[in-house]
């Protein structure tokens, strides 16, 4: 991909200064004033730009590169009540060697599981370099006291998780209790220790693009290493326009602070064509500096299968049969 074509934010103002940010989290009033002073989102403009970028296509060598990059960006996920140790071990093996017939196929970025399955996943991934992520903080609803959320996080990290995917309290955010959400993120970040923190905004429940922008900035101000769209447990998950707004937020945050925050769309991303659309969006919005698993991830399960089949198609010229990849 070529260097990004920098576009103005789909809003009407400029980003705040670094001096302003030093004061933002000091009180509920200053945080509210800051969040409601962010540029408003032009919904029509965001939808149109995302739709325009989705029409871009890449071919042959560039497509092969994009597929391998997308594989390296996958957080291979199983978050079901029926998860078993055997399923998690199989997922770990697939994460390490997505295509057992091709040693050149890269591993995925991470495996993401519930805290109870972290010890099993840690054993399955030992020595692989694949990260181990765990959802925590009463995922997916987030409806639990803070001490329960912190205990959930602490247990996952102690068992071997080096990434924590937390959910924000959407009820508190929508009620305008921004500082309560801020304080929870700060506390979870402290509990994570050296583990990276991905903050799930559950954008499908935030009601407006303006709220997506506010929640993105709130999470980054509180110490998030990544901001993530969704749990995958509500009807509306990741979308291109919402991810565009989040990418603009991390780009602007970096311009002010010098700190790069990652973005993770999750839920509903199932095909190679979908993944490439997101990669184009990243390149054209935040820039090619974000085209790395350290700063962009896909929360997915079935996406990897399609990426592997398309990869084989490019290599052989023919689509593989339905038994080419394992079912997750």
What CATH number should be reported for the domain holding residue 163?
Answer: 3.20.20.70
258 backbone φψ class: left, alpha, beta (φ>0; ψ -120 to 50) = left
Residue 205 lies in a domain: yes
113 within a domain of the structure (yes/no): no
322 in a domain, yes or no? no
Q: Does some domain include residue 317?
A: no
What's the Cα-to-Cα distance from 41 to each of 8, 20, 182, 241, rounded to whole Å? 11, 21, 22, 11
Q: For 17, phi and psi rounded to 5 degrees?
A: -90, 160
What is the full per-residue pLDDT of the chain (328 aa) written as tens digits? 544 444 444 544 455 666 577 788 889 999 999 999 998 999 999 999 999 999 987 877 899 999 999 999 999 999 999 999 999 999 999 999 999 989 899 999 999 999 999 999 999 999 999 999 999 999 999 999 999 999 999 999 999 999 999 999 999 999 999 999 999 999 999 999 999 999 999 999 999 999 999 999 999 999 999 999 999 888 888 999 999 999 999 999 999 999 999 999 998 899 999 999 999 999 999 999 999 999 999 998 889 999 999 999 888 877 666 555 565 5
User: Mind listing the pLDDT tens digit for each residue in 139-158?
Assistant: 999 999 999 999 999 999 99
Token pair recorded at residue 109? 């970025």
Residues labelled catalytic: 165, 228, 264
pLDDT tens, position by position, 170-192? 999 999 999 999 999 999 999 99
State the residue range of the domain holding 290. 47-71+133-300
Query: Does the residue 215 lie in any domain?
Result: yes
Instruction: Check: CB of residue 200 under 8 Å from CB of residue 186.
Output: no
63 part of a folded domain: yes
Burial of 97 (0-12, 13-18, 19+ CB in 10 A): middle
Domain presence at residue 285: yes
C-alpha span between 274 and 54 (Å, rounded): 9
CA dist 233 → 78, 141, 281, 316 (Å): 12, 9, 24, 37
Question: Which residues neighbour 74 within 8 Å (Cβ) at sequence distance 6 or greater?
Answer: 108, 109, 110, 297, 298, 300, 303, 304, 307
Number of separate domains in the chain: 1
Quick check: is 80 in a domain?
Answer: no
Cα 172 from Cα 179, distance rounded (Å): 9
Helix%, strand%, coil% for the chain, nearest 5: 50, 10, 40
Residues whose CB is less than 8 angstroms from the CB of residue 99 and which lie 6 or more positions away in sequence, other chains included: 105, 308, 311, 312, 325
Decide: 249 and 201 in contact? Cβ < 8 Å.
Answer: no
């Amino acid at each position: 991909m070529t260097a990004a074509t920098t576009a103005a934010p789909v809003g009407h103002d400029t980003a705040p200064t670094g001096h302003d940010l030093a004061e933002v989290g000091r009180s509920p009033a200053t945080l509210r004033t800051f969040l409601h002073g962010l540029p408003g989102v032009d919904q029509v403009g965001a939808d149109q730009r995302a739709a325009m970028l989705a029409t871009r296509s890449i071919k042959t060598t560039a497509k092969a590169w994009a597929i391998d990059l997308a594989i390296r960006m996958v957080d291979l996920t199983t978050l079901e009540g029926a998860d078993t140790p055997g399923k998690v071990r199989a997922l770990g093996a697939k994460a390490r060697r997505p295509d057992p017939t091709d040693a050149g196929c890269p591993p995925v970025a991470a495996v993401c599981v519930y805290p109870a399955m972290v010890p099993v996943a840690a054993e399955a991934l030992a020595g692989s370099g694949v990260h181990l992520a765990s959802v925590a903080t009463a995922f997916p609803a987030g409806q639990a006291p803070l001490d329960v959320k912190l205990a959930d996080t602490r247990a996952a990290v102690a068992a071997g998780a080096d990434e924590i995917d937390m959910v924000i309290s959407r009820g508190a955010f929508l009620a305008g209790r921004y500082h309560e959400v801020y304080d929870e993120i700060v506390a979870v970040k402290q509990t994570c220790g050296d583990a990276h923190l991905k903050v799930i905004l559950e954008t499908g429940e935030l009601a407006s693009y303006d709220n997506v922008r506010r929640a993105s900035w709130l999470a980054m101000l509180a110490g998030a290493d990544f901001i993530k769209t969704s749990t995958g447990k509500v009807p509306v998950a990741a979308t291109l326009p919402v991810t565009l707004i989040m990418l603009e937020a991390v780009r602007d945050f970096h311009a002010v602070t010098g700190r790069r925050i990652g973005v993770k769309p999750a839920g509903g991303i199932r095909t190679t064509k979908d993944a490439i659309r997101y990669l184009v969006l990243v390149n054209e919005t935040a820039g090619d500096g974000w085209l790395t698993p350290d700063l962009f991830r896909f929360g997915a399960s079935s996406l990897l299968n399609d990426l592997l089949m398309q990869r084989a198609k490019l290599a052989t010229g023919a689509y593989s049969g339905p038994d080419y990849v394992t079912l997750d």
